């Protein structure tokens, strides 16, 4: 309970947190194939990561492996799921029933990872009252009352950038504790609120910068003209 250097129960680099679902995905594939044990070298080969890093990430979940054999696939899947909280359902409200909002509302597979979008909200009278993928589109004004009554603690913002902040404010008033923000704005929220930004423009920046750099430098690359020492390791993030 006292925050040590490495929090016993609860500190993990963001980067590791991002990789865990990738391990999970691969492990589920393995399980489907009937594989019962897996080593970090195998996972690493599949995901283009060095075994040490995989091992380190897995250690954060608290699982222990055995020399020579590695980890039990089933147990590892379970451990990751419970570590990520995918066992308990998080109910969420989504605000902004545009294109992106509609896509998320229709994403069935979220339910397998503990996320259930309960309803959508919008201010567009044309949308209010309609149903999108079996979820009702309600007037935004109703959000505070409903969130309180239903005990919703997760909000998803797919509204335009201009209104994202005000949407967030309302969510927080309504008692929402975490926000998944798809609007290209850095929300200003109190300390206790957790915000995860899904900024597509940031991603776009990586891509276009890379493409631009490629052309400017005439396809030049640090390692292009060297005999590559490591195997096939592609640039990803």
Partner DNA sequence: TGCCTTTCGATATATCTTTATCGGGTATGA
Partner DNA sequence: TCATACCCGATAAAGATATATCGAAAGGCA
Tell me which residues in 101-120 interact with its own copies (CB under 8 A): 102-104, 106-107, 110, 113-115
Q: Which does 2 bind (CB under 5 to 8 A by kind): its own copies, DNA, none?
A: none
Rounded Cα–Cα distance for residues 117 and 155 (Å): 9
**Closest to its own copies by CB, 10 or 67:** 10
Q: Which residue from 73, 63, 13 is spatially nearest to 38, judged by alpha carbons?
A: 73
The reply to whether 85 sits near its own copies by the rule CB under 8 A is yes
The reply to whether 78 sits near DNA by the rule CB under 7 A is no
The reply to whether 101 sits near DNA by the rule CB under 7 A is no
The reply to whether 3 sits near DNA by the rule CB under 7 A is yes
- Given a contact cutoff of 8 angstroms between Cβ atoms, the answer to whether 90 and 155 are in contact is no
Q: Between the CA of residue 2 and those of 6, 13, 56, 116, 192, what are the distances in Å?
A: 10, 19, 22, 33, 19
Among the listed residues 50, 146, 163, 178, the single contact to its own copies using CB under 8 A:
178
The reply to whether 66 sits near DNA by the rule CB under 7 A is yes
Stated length of the chain: 237
**Closest to DNA by CB, 54 or 92:** 54
The reply to whether 71 sits near DNA by the rule CB under 7 A is yes
- Given a contact cutoff of 8 angstroms between Cβ atoms, the answer to whether 187 and 203 are in contact is no
Rounded Cα–Cα distance for residues 104 and 163 (Å): 19
- Look up tokens 């290209």; give the residue: 184
Rounded Cα–Cα distance for residues 154 and 143 (Å): 12
φ/ψ of residue 22, rounded to 5: -70, -40
Residues numbered 133 to 162 that lie near its own copies (CB under 8 A) are: 153-154, 161
Residues numbered 12 to 41 that lie near DNA (CB under 7 A) are: 13-16, 39-41
x/- mask, its own copies, residues 12-51, rule CB under 8 A, reads: x-x--xxxxxx-xx--------------------xxx---
Give contact residues for DNA (rule: CB under 7 A). Answer: 3, 13-16, 39-42, 49-53, 55-56, 58-59, 63-71
């Amino acid at each position: 309970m006292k925050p040590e250097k490495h929090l016993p129960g609860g500190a993990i680099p963001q980067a590791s947190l991002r990789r865990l679902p990738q391990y999970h995905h691969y492990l589920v594939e393995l399980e489907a194939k009937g594989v019962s044990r897996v080593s970090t070298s195998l996972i690493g080969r599949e995901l283009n990561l060095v075994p040490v890093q995989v091992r380190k990430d897995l250690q954060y979940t608290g699982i222990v492996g055995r020399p020579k054999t590695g980890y039990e696939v089933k147990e590892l899947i379970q451990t990751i799921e419970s570590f990520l909280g995918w066992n308990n359902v998080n109910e969420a409200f989504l605000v902004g029933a545009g294109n992106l909002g509609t896509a998320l509302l229709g994403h069935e597979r979220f339910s397998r990872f503990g996320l259930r979008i309960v309803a959508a909200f919008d201010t567009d009278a044309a949308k209010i009252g309609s149903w999108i993928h079996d979820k009702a589109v309600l007037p935004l004004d109703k959000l505070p009352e409903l969130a309180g009554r239903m005990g919703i603690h997760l909000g998803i913002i797919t509204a335009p950038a201009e209104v994202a902040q005000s949407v967030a404010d309302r969510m927080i008033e309504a008692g929402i504790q975490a926000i998944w923000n798809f609007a290209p704005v850095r929300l200003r929220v109190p300390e206790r609120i957790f915000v995860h930004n899904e900024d597509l423009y940031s991603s776009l920046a990586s891509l276009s910068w890379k493409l631009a750099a490629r052309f400017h430098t005439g396809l030049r690359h640090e390692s292009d003209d060297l005999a590559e020492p490591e195997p096939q390791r592609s640039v990803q993030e």
